Amino acid sequence: MNSEKAKTKKSTTVAFLGLGNMGAPMARRLLAAGYGLTVWNRTASKAEALVAEGAVAAASPADAVRGADVVITMLADPAAALAVADAIVPALRAGTTWIDTSTVGPDTVRELASRLPEGVALIDAPVMGSVDRAATGELLILAGGETAPVAGLLAELGSVTRCGEVGTGAALKLVLISGVIGGVALVAESLRLATALGLPPELTRSSLAASPLGGLVGRAFATDAYFPVALAAKDVSLATGVAGLPVLEAVRGVLVGRGDLAGEDLSALRD
């Protein structure tokens, strides 16, 4: 059985587009697992480490996906996803599965699906978890669409929660990530309130950690995660564009207003 799985991996060609903080460790896991891997990134130098480990670098998105069995994208926002779609859709062949792991919202996912040629399947599979979980293959993958044909590949990246039809994974991701972002912002303000009241920082932190906010306190003090404030602002903006969410609107205002923290991890809101 193991030898058959190894043969399947070696015969499955994967194109991975988007080698940022999340994409690179995800691609590395697939390469280490034995998949034939072609990679592309807008900044070509980000592919060099993976090429040194055995991946093949493509000069363009279309070159990356041409002939691939599976295409995986991990891109920053809807504009990037749609731009890459413009480049790759003409090069996709029937029988290809496109797995989009970006956080772009269900409207963009449905737009991507509408552009696909006959015989190409789309799975929206945004992930929960940061760079640490991407490296260890412990991401939570929120999947909309039919995942059975790529179940083994997805298992290398993490555990899959089947959400329903295409677009439902993207929808659930907005729900979960908005809760996390709003929660971390709330922890940051609770800490600020404690300081203003003259409470010892360690007493405040330990008490919050023992409260129902415990998981969010852990994320607020994480040192091995990286989720830039700028991307958090993008995610909350996607959510507030769907429904009236006054609390999240306030959080979005804070995130957008902290341009000094744009490239810092979300935990920097404590500062």
Q: Which residues are catalytic?
A: 173
CA-wise closest residue to 23 among 62, 63, 81, 79? 81
Report whether 134 contacts 154 (CB < 8 A): no
Which segments of 19-164 does DSSP mark as H helices, in order? 23-32, 48-52, 61-65, 78-88, 106-114, 131-136, 151-157
Element (H, E) at 43: none
Distance, CA of 132 to CA of 110 (rounded, Å): 30
Residue 41 structure tokens = 């990134």
Q: Is 72 left (phi over 0), alpha (psi -120 to 50) or beta?
A: beta
User: C-alpha distances in angstroms, 244 versus 91, 174, 237?
Assistant: 40, 14, 11
Question: How much is the CA Rg of the chain, to the nearest whole Å?
Answer: 20
DSSP 52-65: HTT-EE-SSHHHHH
Distance, CA of 31 to CA of 22 (rounded, Å): 15
Distance, CA of 141 to CA of 163 (rounded, Å): 10
Q: Is 141 left (phi over 0), alpha (psi -120 to 50) or beta?
A: beta
User: Count of CB atoms within 10 A of residue 189's CB?
Assistant: 14
